[in-house]
Amino acid sequence: MTFNQLVYFKAVAEFENFHRAAEHLFVSQPSLSRAIAALEKEMGVSLFEKKGRGVCLTKAGRVFLAYTERILNECDIATRKMKELTQRGGRIDVGMVFPLADRYMPHKVRKFLDRKENVNVNFSFVQNHTPELIKRIRSGEIDIGFGGYVEGENDLEFYPVLNQEIVLITSKEASFINGEPLPIKILEKNPVIGYENESWMGINTKNLYNKLKIIPEIIMECPDEHSIMAFVSENFGVALIPRIDALDESKINIHPIKDMKLSHQTFMFWEHDRYRLPAVNRFIEYMKESEGVS
């Protein structure tokens, strides 16, 4: 059974005449007759019977017509949906590291959806560490990731979208003044709240400690900045984190690093050769345009 046979069958059923149905379909009557005959042979039943100069549906034909109409209707819906995907609509699956969910990503997505050409676009989001997001990019679960830069991932395109100062944070109960610059070596004199080993920040802070020959006493490792901030606020120790939006609303002290400027860069990344819906490409271009714009 072919799609054309279903279309031909429906037309003959509507016109009750092979000649008129053939004209409507822009095919020859013999071709139409052969297609219906082949369909009846495959089904093992007669779908039409003669009625004067035309034909009418048999009992089996009436049953088959109901299914045919349902199938063709679903095909029409699928075609419309595909046209939406290739034009203005579609879903963008985004993966991001945890801090971006506070303000950065909701703000960027809101601005994107405010554009007229994007009103029919939908988003879905997952949060995880950069290595896991890269796995999901490759599996096709997400279209775009936002996290750290990873060397050696040659099949991925990385584009910088956000640069944040790295700061030290302490509790209000600690003997430091909020805003007071502190030396990086303070990490060796106080318990440290760190990142999980598998996270991009966990890997890179450990590389930084090795480079600066710092041996901190890491008393616990946390999955994200929010949990780190929570433990610091309860005076468990100090931490080194990017200056995320949530810091300004927290009940902890924020300290620039004395005699040193460190920064944390967030990248947007996607797979080079994978097919992307137009909506995904528009979002990538929008993020490139809006980089550095609030």
The first and second tokens of residue 129, run together, are 């560490």
pLDDT for res 293: 42
Q: Does an H or E element contain 90, and which?
A: strand 90-96
Count how many domains the chain has: 2
Tell me: pLDDT of 270 over 90.
Answer: yes
Residues 121 and 35 occupy one common structural domain? no
Q: What are phi and psi of 291, to 5 degrees?
A: -55, 125
Calpha distance 256→179 (Å, rounded): 7
The first and second tokens of residue 27, run together, are 């095919």
Q: What is the pLDDT of residues 154-173, one digit of tens each?
A: 899 999 999 999 999 999 99
Q: What CATH code is carried by the domain that includes residue 180?
A: 3.40.190.290
Residues 33 and 73 occupy one common structural domain? yes
Residues 104 and 78 occupy one common structural domain? no
What type of residue is 186?
I
294 pLDDT band, cuts 50/70/90, is very low
- Find the mean pLDDT for residues 127-151: 92
pLDDT for res 292: 47
- Find the mean pLDDT for residues 127-132: 91
Residues 71 and 169 occupy one common structural domain? no
pTM here is 0.66
Q: What CATH code is carried by the domain that includes residue 72?
A: 1.10.10.10
Supply the range of the domain harboring residue 81: 3-86
291 pLDDT band, cuts 50/70/90, is low
Calpha distance 257→184 (Å, rounded): 6
21 pLDDT band, cuts 50/70/90, is very high
Residues 69 and 163 occupy one common structural domain? no
> Sign (positive/negative) of CA torsion 194, 200, 203, 205?
negative
Residues 57 and 189 occupy one common structural domain? no
From residue 282, alpha-carbon distances to 59, 86, 92, 273, 277 in Å are: 52, 12, 10, 16, 9
Total count of residues recorded for the chain: 294
- Find the mean pLDDT for residues 171-185: 91
70: left (phi over 0), alpha (psi -120 to 50) or beta: alpha
Residues 117 and 260 occupy one common structural domain? yes
